[in-house]
């Protein structure tokens, strides 16, 4: 593909990009791949199956969204699967604790690609009001790639529906012709996220080297000056 | 008789099923029900189940609804101080905030170094905010209010989720529009539609001129 | 006007009991004479003896709450506090036992009150007190292998910023920084010197199965095989992130252990850092179906403490009416959804749930219009409520396609209480109560006998379905409940079906209360809904302790608060009904099929926000 072609693709990915005048009010089939992507994505985005997976308060709003007043089946999302193998979308609906992050990562690894993660509510996005706690992960995006963030505490069902629409838009932009737009059109299965380990604190194996360095440093620091404030400042 | 209970149950489900269509018949099975039918379908009198067709019709949130806070600034076409902050950076909202998601840099006079009643910077981390509304409740200047805009979903949190002063500021007119009753009540308590300080200055000026 | 302090005639039996105990154990028992404290301090060596005597001879058969307090810098000891009640009603007998911080050991009270089981495990987990004689002393909310005991006052978490809120870094020089960014790797975590990640296996999972006799164990006289089944934490019928580890023989449960802590979000530790007012929105997130009655419980606990000080003004009558209105509507919401979930667990795929959600949405419309949020209401304040009822339930169109509804609040409420909700309750009754599927699955399953229900400290519908007429609204009345006429619902069999029926009948009783509330609401229209001056964000709370409890839809919700006179509570403990009701789960499930365990769990009606806190 030429450079020009790449630019054009990027433009298609950008939802803000203006539609050229000659293409307005007409369907343009510029390549077979793009047509295929459009049809394929139309099918995918209208049949996202979420996983039945409630964590905390937000899960109740998620149930309210699935119930009759807001009715997420209008988006083709009513098939809520209890098994990660059959699910496309993981809605992280609530506080992710250190104890729970291990099963969450395991469930994510078990989901078949293409898979999406929607972080619902302040807690799932960044720890929320419970962030300062000793057992709370400050945001699931430290472990999993998150596609859509829905802020709020809790987001109302309508806010969540807006998040679903955002996710559909994102799916629409993923191109079969462009392997870089999504991880799973590349070669072979993607790598599993390494499971966190419940040690003295939760340990992300990807940060093991950091742990070793810090463990040594922390020991010396603690011996030298236990004053927490000065430490914080020094670090900031 | 065995099975009577199940039959009764099925009768209730059937009733629900039929009720849903009775209401639809009234509106001729139109896909989008006219706006005047909306309160009846989403109220207590509704028999059957009616869905809010979200992107095409939305439930307007009540006046007291609270989502992420916003800062009230003077209307941009205000004759004297357009776009001026109502916030005086007194810091009460930051003190009362339960998850401590508000960061304020108090404004300072560059020459004297004394605090001026205007925040230099104002941040709210919406990943921490718990929408409790205590900041708005205890703000003595009616300068921070809870927003009604819940459509905030985004693809990226690192850049978009710390709201700075520019992102938080909204005209006073906006607050009047989303919560007319409460805005009026507050204005009554203040003694006028203007900011407290402006009213005070006016009263002072009036006294001086006497 | 009402008073939260127990009336004089209620106090005297407790005083009497205290003097009896003092006479009986002259050397081991002394009065707790610190300012604002009550009850007795018992010598740990004779704690079991004193507790047994209190239970058997004085009738304090129901242990409501057991929790630990760390008095670092205030005597430097750990203190275990037990609140015991009589199931016939009345005030608490408060028993305390103190122990050294370094080698903290106390005798376990599980032989006396088996309901202390989980609560003592929690005290061990979070405070590090070892209980001698406890049958299964291991961590309950955190995992085995966690460093330290986080509720101790000298323990610091990874993102530690400052001991008390408000944090100094927020104002006047608050440059925003995300705590995980400037402290990317929790520095307060202490790793053992020889810690090596490569050779590390987490003891967390192994500990869960420790008592479960893992491994193949086929006895010659049985044709069935024993195995261990782990249900959860991700399972559609565990109501969130709850986990049960059951040892089954064939399909029969022989042993079952609840594993929790997957939603342990450190409510109590954050609560001790918050100011008193800042805790109010956090209580919303305990039992997130019933935020309004959680608010009420916390407000009552703090008001009890405030009433010890000068210049305290009790809530106005209007405020009490509003509080009861909200609490009872919450009860209906909760029971309706609880029944929906129970039916889901029994296999009715979502239909009852959906019907329950319809009514819930309508009540939530009311909550949203009054308090500003559907679920996290944050409505009560110390001395009243945050706001009065609005005149109209309406919103302004703000976003594109917004559709406006406009109802008169009182008319809406009247129609809701007098027509809509009774009809909904009748409907549940009609399509579920006599259904053969429900009766077959529920009658005689998960039986909890009366004596066990009391001993295991169950509360709420679980306790009342086992034939104990214990309701805090009557046993130790608060707010305006003494003026209201309603019955305490009791059933005798203690099975799933009775728990279901108790919930239905409680909804009917709640509607009865609400019907009495409506005229009161109209009478008090325009009266102040808040006592004293508004706008105070740091109320004065004198030093002392208080235990405020309310009858939450799920059972008795208690807040144990210790204040040292400062802005923040010294200790903030939640006696969560869902958590303690789970103590009885094993007793209920033993001997039934694994498929019934799901229904039994549904009939307890737990919410994980409250179980794990």
Sketch the domain layout of chain B as residue ranges. 1-58, 69-209
pLDDT computed for residue C10 by the predictor: 45
Domain count, chain A: 2
Residue B137, CA distances (Å) to B143, C341, C372, C393 in order:
10, 36, 12, 20
Query: pLDDT at residue A8 above 60?
Result: no
Residue B49: its chain A contacts at CB < 8 A?
68-69
pLDDT digits (tens, 9 = 90+) for C25-45: 888 888 888 888 888 899 999
* Claim to verify: residue A180 and residue A71 sit in the same structural domain: yes
Which chain C residues in 200-239 lie under 8 Å from chain A, judged by CB atoms? 200, 202, 204, 233-236
- The answer to the question of residue A59 being in a domain is yes
Residue A147 contacts B where some CB pair is shorter than 8 Å? yes
pLDDT tier at A228 (50, 70, 90 boundaries)?
Answer: very low
Domains of chain C from N-terminus onward: 9-132 (3.30.460.80), 204-259 (no CATH), 267-531+541-612 (1.10.645.10)
pLDDT computed for residue C231 by the predictor: 84
pLDDT computed for residue B83 by the predictor: 84
- The answer to the question of residue A225 being in a domain is yes
* Claim to verify: residue A115 and residue A169 sit in the same structural domain: yes
pLDDT tier at C547 (50, 70, 90 boundaries)?
Answer: very high
Q: Which residue has the higher pLDDT, B203 or A25?
A: B203
C-interface mutation test, from B2, B9, B66, most C Cβ less than 10 A away: B9
Q: Which helix (H) or strand (E) holds C342?
A: helix C317-346
Residue A194 contacts C where some CB pair is shorter than 8 Å? no
Q: In this structure, is the dihedral angle defined by the CA atoms of residues A41, A44, A45 and A46, taken in order, positive or negative?
A: positive
Interchain CB distance below 8 Å, B62 and C395: yes
Looking at A121-209, which runs of residues are DSSP E strands? 148-150, 197-198, 202-203
Round the CA-based radius of gyration of chain B to a whole number and report it. 25
C-interface mutation test, from B2, B15, B44, most C Cβ less than 10 A away: B44
Query: pLDDT at residue C597 above 80?
Result: yes
- Report, as an integer, the average pLDDT of C582-593: 90
- The answer to the question of residue A24 being in a domain is yes
Query: pLDDT at residue B86 above 50?
Result: yes
Tell me yes or no: is domain B69-209 CATH 2.60.120.330: no
pLDDT computed for residue C204 by the predictor: 76
Q: In this structure, is the dihedral angle defined by the CA atoms of residues C59, C64, C68 and C71, taken in order, positive or negative?
A: negative
Please list, residue by residue across C159-181, b when 16 or more beta carbons sit within 10 angstroms of its beta carbon and e when fewer do: bbbeeebbbebbbbebebbbbbe
**How far apart are the CA of B23 and the nearest CA of chain C, in angstroms?**
16
Residue B55: its chain A contacts at CB < 8 A?
161-162, 165
* Claim to verify: residue A121 and residue A231 sit in the same structural domain: no
Are the C-beta atoms of residues A127 and A137 closer than 8 Å to each other? yes
Share of chain C above pLDDT 70, in %: 92
Q: Which residue has the higher pLDDT, A129 or A187?
A: A129
* Claim to verify: residue A13 and residue A125 sit in the same structural domain: yes
pLDDT tier at A231 (50, 70, 90 boundaries)?
Answer: very low
pLDDT computed for residue A76 by the predictor: 87
Distance, in Å, from the CA atom of C5 to the CA atom of C167, rounded to the nearest integer, reads 34
Give one DSSP letter per residue of B34-95, joined into a string: -GGGHHHHTSTT--S-----TTTSEEPPBTT---SEEEEE--TT-SSSTT-BS-----HHHH
Residue A51 contacts B where some CB pair is shorter than 8 Å? no
pLDDT computed for residue A232 by the predictor: 39
pLDDT digits (tens, 9 = 90+) for C443-473: 989 899 999 999 999 999 999 999 999 999 9
pLDDT computed for residue C413 by the predictor: 92
* Claim to verify: residue A159 and residue A210 sit in the same structural domain: no
- Report, as an integer, the average pLDDT of B65-94: 88
Looking at C133-266, which runs of residues are DSSP E strands? 226-231, 243-249, 252-259
The pair of structure tokens assigned to C141 is: 């909310």
pLDDT digits (tens, 9 = 90+) for C239-285: 788 888 888 888 888 888 888 889 898 899 999 999 999 999 999 99
* Claim to verify: residue A15 and residue A60 sit in the same structural domain: yes
C-contacting chains (≥3 CB pairs under 8 Å)? A, B
Q: How many CB pairs under 8 A join B and C?
A: 207
- Report, as an integer, the average pLDDT of B7-19: 89
- Report, as an integer, the average pLDDT of C385-394: 89
pLDDT computed for residue A230 by the predictor: 38
Locate the chain C residue with the closest alpha carbon to A218. Answer: C187
pLDDT digits (tens, 9 = 90+) for A111-123: 888 889 999 989 9
* Claim to verify: residue A16 and residue A109 sit in the same structural domain: yes
- Report, as an integer, the average pLDDT of C581-591: 90
Query: pLDDT at residue C499 above 80?
Result: yes
Q: Which residue has the higher pLDDT, C54 or C182?
A: C54
* Claim to verify: residue A117 and residue A211 sit in the same structural domain: no
Mean pLDDT for chain C?
A: 86
CATH number at residue A35: 3.40.50.12280
- Report, as an integer, the average pLDDT of A28-44: 75
Locate the chain C residue with the closest alpha carbon to B177. Answer: C396
Query: pLDDT at residue C324 above 90?
Result: yes
- Report, as an integer, the average pLDDT of B111-135: 87
pLDDT computed for residue C223 by the predictor: 58
Task: Name the residue range of residue A214's domain.
Answer: 204-235
A-interface mutation test, from C148, C230, C285, C376, most A Cβ less than 10 A away: C285
- The answer to the question of residue A104 being in a domain is yes
Task: Pinpoint the alpha helices (H) of C466-567.
Answer: 472-475, 496-523
* Claim to verify: residue A166 and residue A50 sit in the same structural domain: yes
pLDDT tier at C325 (50, 70, 90 boundaries)?
Answer: very high
pLDDT tier at A5 (50, 70, 90 boundaries)?
Answer: very low
Token pair 């009001």 is found at A129
pLDDT computed for residue C228 by the predictor: 83
Which chain C residues in 260-289 lie under 8 Å from chain A, judged by CB atoms? 261-267, 269-270, 273, 281-282, 285, 288-289
pLDDT computed for residue C194 by the predictor: 65
pLDDT computed for residue A24 by the predictor: 57
- Report, as an integer, the average pLDDT of C227-240: 80
> Among B80-94, C134-148, C227-241, C306-320, which is the least confidently predicted range?
C227-241
Token pair 């001997």 is found at C591
Residue C352: its chain B contacts at CB < 8 A?
none
- Report, as an integer, the average pLDDT of C290-316: 89
pLDDT computed for residue C120 by the predictor: 92
The pair of structure tokens assigned to B58 is: 């939305």
pLDDT computed for residue C175 by the predictor: 82
Locate the chain B residue with the closest alpha carbon to A68. Answer: B51
- Report, as an integer, the average pLDDT of B76-94: 87
Mean pLDDT for chain B?
A: 86
- The answer to the question of residue A198 being in a domain is no
């Amino acid at each position: 593909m030429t450079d020009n072609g790449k630019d054009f693709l990027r433009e298609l990915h950008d939802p803000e990009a203006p539609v050229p005048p000659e293409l307005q009010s007409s369907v343009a089939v510029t390549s077979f791949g793009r047509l295929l992507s459009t049809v394929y994505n139309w099918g995918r985005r209208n049949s996202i199956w979420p996983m039945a997976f409630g964590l905390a308060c937000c899960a109740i709003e998620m149930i309210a969204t699935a119930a009759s007043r807001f009715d997420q089946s209008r988006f083709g999302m009513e098939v809520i699967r209890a098994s990660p193998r059959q699910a496309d979308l993981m809605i992280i609906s609530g506080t992710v604790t250190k104890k729970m992050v291990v099963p969450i990562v395991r469930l994510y690894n078990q989901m078949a690609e293409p898979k999406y993660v929607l972080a619902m509510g302040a807690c799932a996005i960044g720890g929320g009001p419970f962030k300062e706690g000793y057992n709370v992960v400050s945001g699931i995006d430290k472990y999993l790639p998150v596609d859509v963030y829905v802020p709020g505490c809790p987001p109302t069902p309508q806010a969540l529906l807006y998040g679903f629409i955002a996710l559909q838009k994102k799916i629409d932009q993923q191109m079969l012709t462009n392997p870089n737009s999504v991880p799973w059109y590349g070669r072979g299965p993607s790598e599993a996220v390494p499971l966190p380990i419940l040690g003295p604190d939760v340990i992300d194996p990807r940060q093991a080297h950091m742990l070793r360095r810090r463990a040594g440093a922390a020991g010396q620091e603690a011996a030298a000056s236990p004053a927490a404030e000065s430490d914080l400042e020094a670090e900031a | 008789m065995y099975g009577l209970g199940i039959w009764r149950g099925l009768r209730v489900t059937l009733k629900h099923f039929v009720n849903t269509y009775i209401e639809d018949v009234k509106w001729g099975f139109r896909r989008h029900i006219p706006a005047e039918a909306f309160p009846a379908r989403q109220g207590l009198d509704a028999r059957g189940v009616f869905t809010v067709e979200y992107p095409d019709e939305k439930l307007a949130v009540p006046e007291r609804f609270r989502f992420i806070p916003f800062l009230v600034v003077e209307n941009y076409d205000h004759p004297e101080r357009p776009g001026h902050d109502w916030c005086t950076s007194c810091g009460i909202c930051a003190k009362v905030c339960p998850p401590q998601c508000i960061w304020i840099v108090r404004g300072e006079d560059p020459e004297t170094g004394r605090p001026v009643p205007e925040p230099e910077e104002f941040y709210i981390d919406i990943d921490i905010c718990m929408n409790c509304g205590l900041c708005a409740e205890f703000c003595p200047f009616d300068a921070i209010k809870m927003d009604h805009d819940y459509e905030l979903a985004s693809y990226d949190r690192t850049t978009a989720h710390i709201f700075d002063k520019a992102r938080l500021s909204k005209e006073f007119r906006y607050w009047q529009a989303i919560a007319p009753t409460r805005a009026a009540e507050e204005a009554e308590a203040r003694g006028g539609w203007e900011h407290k300080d402006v009213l005070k200055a006016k009263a002072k000026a009036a006294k001086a001129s006497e | 006007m009402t008073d939260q302090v127990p009336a004089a005639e209620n106090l005297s039996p407790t005083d009497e009991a205290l003097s009896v105990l003092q006479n009986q154990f002259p050397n081991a028992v002394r009065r707790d004479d610190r300012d604002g404290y009550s009850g007795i301090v018992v010598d740990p060596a004779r704690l079991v003896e004193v507790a047994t005597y209190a239970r058997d001879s004085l009738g304090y058969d129901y242990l409501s709450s057991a929790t630990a307090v760390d008095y670092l810098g205030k005597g430097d000891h750990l203190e275990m506090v037990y609140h015991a009640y009589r199931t016939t009603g009345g005030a608490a007998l408060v028993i305390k036992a103190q122990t050294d911080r370094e080698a903290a050991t106390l005798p376990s009270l599980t032989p006396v009150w088996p309901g202390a089981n989980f609560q003592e495990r929690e005290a061990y987990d979070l405070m590090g007190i070892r209980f001698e004689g406890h049958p299964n002393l291991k961590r309950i909310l955190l995992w085995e292998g966690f460093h330290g005991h986080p509720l101790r006052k000298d323990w610091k978490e990874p993102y530690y910023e400052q001991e008390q809120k408000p944090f100094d870094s927020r104002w006047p020089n608050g440059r925003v920084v995300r705590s995980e960014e400037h402290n990317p790797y929790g520095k307060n975590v202490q790793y053992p010197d020889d810690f090596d990640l490569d050779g590390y296996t987490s003891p967390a999972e192994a500990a869960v199965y420790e008592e479960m006799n893992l491994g193949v164990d086929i006895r010659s006289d049985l044709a069935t095989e024993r195995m261990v089944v782990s249900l959860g934490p991700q399972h559609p019928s565990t109501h969130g992130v709850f986990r049960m580890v059951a040892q089954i023989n064939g399909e029969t449960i022989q042993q079952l252990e609840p594993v929790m802590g997957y939603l342990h979000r450190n409510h109590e530790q954050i609560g001790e850092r918050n100011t008193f007012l800042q805790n109010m929105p956090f209580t919303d997130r305990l039992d997130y179906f019933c935020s309004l009655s959680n608010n009420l419980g916390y407000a009552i606990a703090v008001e009890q403490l405030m009433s010890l000080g000068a210049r305290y003004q009790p809530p106005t009558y209007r405020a009490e009416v509003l509080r009861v209105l909200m609490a009872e509507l919450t009860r209906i919401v909760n029971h309706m959804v609880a029944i929906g979930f129970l039916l889901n667990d029994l296999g009715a795929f979502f239909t009852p749930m959906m019907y329950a959600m319809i009514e819930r949405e309508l009540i939530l419309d009311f909550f949203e219009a009054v308090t500003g949020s559907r679920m996290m209401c944050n409505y009560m304040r110390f001395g009243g409520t945050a706001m009065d009822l609005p005149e109209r339930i309406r919103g302004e169109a703000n976003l594109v396609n917004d559709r406006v509804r406009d109802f008169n609040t009182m008319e809406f409420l009247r129609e809701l209480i007098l027509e809509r909700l009774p009809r909904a309750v009748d409907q549940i009754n009609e399509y579920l109560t006599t259904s053969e599927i429900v009766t077959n699955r529920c009658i005689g399953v998960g039986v909890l006998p009366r004596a066990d229900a009391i001993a295991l400290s169950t509360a709420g519908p679980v306790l009342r379905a086992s034939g104990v007429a214990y309701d805090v609204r009557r046993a130790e009345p608060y707010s305006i409940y003494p003026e209201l006429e309603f019955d305490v619902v009791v059933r005798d069999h203690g099975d799933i079906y009775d728990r279901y029926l108790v919930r239905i009948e409680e909804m009917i009783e709640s509607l009865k209360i609400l019907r009495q509330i409506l005229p009161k609401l109209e009478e008090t229209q325009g009266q102040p809904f808040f006592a004293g001056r508004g706008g105070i964000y740091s109320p004065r709370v004198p030093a002392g302790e208080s235990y405020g409890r309310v009858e939450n839809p799920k059972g008795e919700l208690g807040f144990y608060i210790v204040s040292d006179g400062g802005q923040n509570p010294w200790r903030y403990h939640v006696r969560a009904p869902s958590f303690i009701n789970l103590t009885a789960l094993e007793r209920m499930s033993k001997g039934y099929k694994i498929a019934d365990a799901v229904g039994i769990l549904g009939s307890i009606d737990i919410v994980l926000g409250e179980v794990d806190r």
